[in-house]
Amino acid sequence: MHILNGSIANNLNPQNWVNNYADYLYKVAFYRVNKVEVAEDLVQDTFLSALKAKDTFNGTASEKTWLTAILKNKIIDYFKKASTKNELLLNESQGNEVELDYFFNYNKMGKWEEAKQPKQWTEAHCSTEKNEFYKILNQCLSKISIKWQGIFKMCLIDEEDAKLVCKEFDISSSNLWVILHRSKLQIRECLEKNWLKL
Supply the CATH number for residue 120's domain: 1.10.10
Judged by DSSP in three states, 86 sits in coil
Residues 79 and 12 in one domain: yes
CATH of the domain at 60: 1.10.1740.10
| pLDDT values of the chain reduced to their tens digit, one per residue, 198 residues | 444 433 343 578 899 999 999 999 999 998 888 888 999 999 999 999 999 998 888 888 899 999 999 999 899 888 888 766 544 443 333 444 455 455 555 555 445 455 555 555 555 555 556 677 778 888 888 888 888 888 988 888 888 888 988 988 888 888 888 888 888 888 888 888 887 664
Same domain, 35 and 113: no
Say whether pTM exceeds 0.85: no
Question: Cα–Cα distance between 81 and 77 in angstroms, integer?
Answer: 6
Residues in the chain: 198
Q: Do 149 and 184 contact (CB within 8 A), yes or no? A: no
